[in-house]
């Protein structure tokens, strides 16, 4: 498998001629599996690659709570001002510099059969050609007895916010194979993602569903089969195969976050203003976020996840030399160098957020072991190997707070805001 992986992925990547940097996938070890390596010098700040996911899907609770996103690329569909009004709960909220909002409502289109929204004709066509013909419920969009609606309701009943995965990501994998003329090609692409042992898969299922809902996996499998059975991937619908598919999405799904308001704020930051005007704008934005926090809490973005072949090859480091982001307000993932990366050097991202990376080696290992089922041996962890395996009082307090959250709160790669 390692040799074929190298053959498939030793190439220059880029989207529409952008970010052409030569990288290749190599087998690292039985413990780490494969990794992504630079084949030329990559400078700090350089975009290493831009990647489109094989499939992506918005989280179901996120969509239910009116975080309006393109059903294909997850681009935020609200104008920045509309976004601010909804998040603050203030219908009269007005934003200065409205011309900085990049949302084009005149380009948005819906599916003529089920009315789901897309940011453009291109996205509507792309979804139709890849998977939406299978998944379109037509006039049964709001029918609770439609097989797909039953599946989605069952998922929402066992996977509460903060969300880290979606059953619809799995549904789009099946629908893509169903619609494909070359089914084997798509099956090969999906098989590139890392596989886990049966025991590890059980741990992932437990992390996603928790003790209370772990027994619901069979119900989800039955509803999934009734809605989507496909002979070409019949193994995905067996108890073992469904658990493996569930674990694949749980461990390889990269979080995606989009926000028209965040895009507007970044555009405001780039404005050249007089000092007094800059101060006033900064005060306005600070107060805006305080109002949002009071009304909405931490849920600011349209959120979902996707399967990215190259990104999934990037191993973790507590001192990463690259980071992921979604600066185009859609599902296009950018991987950017945080420092110079020499030819032959592995490209590593971090599965931990900034605060988690500052914790002790013991605490970092605990998070990684519980959520990703591996023990980190990055340079930072090796350098701190002699530290005692204890957690500081401050970290213990943070962990106690996290234990009050749903068990899946940390599963999935760190989702970098746009």
pLDDT tens, the chain, 418 aa long: 333 444 344 333 443 334 456 899 998 887 778 899 999 999 999 999 999 999 999 999 999 999 999 999 999 999 999 999 999 999 999 999 999 999 999 999 999 999 999 999 999 999 999 999 999 999 999 999 999 999 999 999 998 888 988 999 999 999 999 999 999 999 999 998 877 767 777 877 767 777 767 679 999 999 999 999 999 999 999 999 999 998 899 889 999 999 999 999 999 999 999 999 999 999 999 999 999 999 998 889 999 999 999 999 999 999 999 999 999 999 999 999 999 999 999 999 998 888 988 899 899 988 888 777 788 988 999 998 887 766 655 555 555 555 554 444 444 444 444 5
> What would the pLDDT profile of 375-417 be if each residue is shown by its tens digit?
898 899 999 888 776 665 555 555 555 555 444 444 444 444 4
- According to DSSP, residue 119 is labeled S
The pTM assigned to this predicted structure is 0.86
**Residue in the block written with tokens 């709001």:** 142
Could you tell me the fold of the domain covering 12-53+308-385? Beta-clip-like (2.170.270)
Angle between helices 217-228 and 167-179 (to 10 degrees): 30
Please report, for the chain, the start and end positions of each structural domain, with discontinuous segments joined by +.
Answer: 12-53+308-385, 55-254
- The length of the chain in residues reads 418
CA distance 93 to 292: 11
Element containing residue 133 per DSSP (H, E)? helix 133-135
Q: Determine contact, residues 76/329, Cβ cutoff 8 Å.
A: yes
> What would the pLDDT profile of 134-174 be if each residue is shown by its tens digit?
999 999 999 999 999 999 999 999 988 889 889 999 999 99
Q: Which residues of 8-43 are buried (b: 16+ CB within 10 A; e: fewer)?
A: ebeeebeeeeebebbbbbbebeeeebbbbbbeeebe
């Amino acid at each position: 498998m390692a040799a074929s992986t190298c053959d498939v992925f030793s190439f220059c990547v880029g989207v529409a001629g952008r970010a052409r940097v030569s990288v290749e996938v190599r087998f690292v070890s039985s413990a780490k599996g494969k990794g992504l390596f630079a084949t030329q010098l990559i400078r700090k700040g350089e975009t290493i690659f831009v990647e489109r996911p094989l499939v992506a899907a918005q989280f179901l609770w996120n969509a239910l709570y009116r975080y309006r996103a393109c059903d294909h690329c997850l681009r935020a569909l609200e104008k920045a001002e509309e976004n601010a009004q909804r998040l603050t709960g203030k219908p009269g909220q007005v934003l200065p510099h409205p011309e900085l909002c990049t949302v084009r409502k005149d380009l948005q289109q819906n599916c003529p059969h089920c009315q789901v929204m897309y940011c453009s004709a291109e996205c509507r066509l792309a979804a139709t050609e890849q998977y939406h013909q299978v998944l379109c419920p037509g006039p049964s969009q709001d029918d609770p007895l439609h097989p797909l609606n039953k599946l989605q309701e069952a998922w929402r009943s066992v996977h509460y916010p903060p969300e880290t995965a979606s059953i619809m990501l799995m549904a789009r994998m099946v629908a893509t194979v169903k619609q494909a003329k070359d089914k084997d090609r798509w099956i090969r692409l999906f098989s590139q993602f890392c596989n886990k042992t049966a025991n590890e898969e059980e741990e992932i299922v437990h992390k996603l569903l928790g003790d209370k809902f772990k027994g619901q996996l069979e119900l989800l499998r039955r509803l999934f089969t009734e809605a989507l059975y496909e002979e070409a991937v019949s193994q995905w619908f067996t108890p073992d195969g469904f658990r493996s598919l569930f674990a694949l999405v749980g461990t390889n799904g990269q979080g995606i976050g989009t926000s028209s308001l965040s895009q507007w704020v970044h555009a405001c930051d780039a404005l050249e203003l007089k000092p007094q005007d800059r101060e006033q704008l900064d005060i306005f934005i600070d107060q805006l976020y305080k109002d949002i926090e009071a009304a909405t809490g931490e849920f600011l973005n349209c959120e979902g996840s996707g399967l990215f072949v190259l990104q999934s090859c990037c191993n973790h480091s507590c001192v990463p030399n690259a980071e992921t982001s979604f600066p185009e307000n859609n599902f296009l993932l950018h991987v950017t160098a945080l420092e110079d990366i020499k030819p032959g050097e592995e490209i590593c991202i971090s599965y931990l957020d900034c605060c988690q990376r500052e914790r002790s080696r013991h605490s970092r290992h605990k998070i990684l072991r519980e959520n990703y089922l591996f023990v980190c041996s990055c340079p930072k962890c090796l350098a701190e190997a002699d530290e005692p395996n204890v957690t500081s009082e401050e970290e213990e307090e943070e962990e106690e707070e996290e234990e009050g959250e749903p068990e899946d709160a940390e599963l999935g790669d760190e989702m970098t805001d746009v």
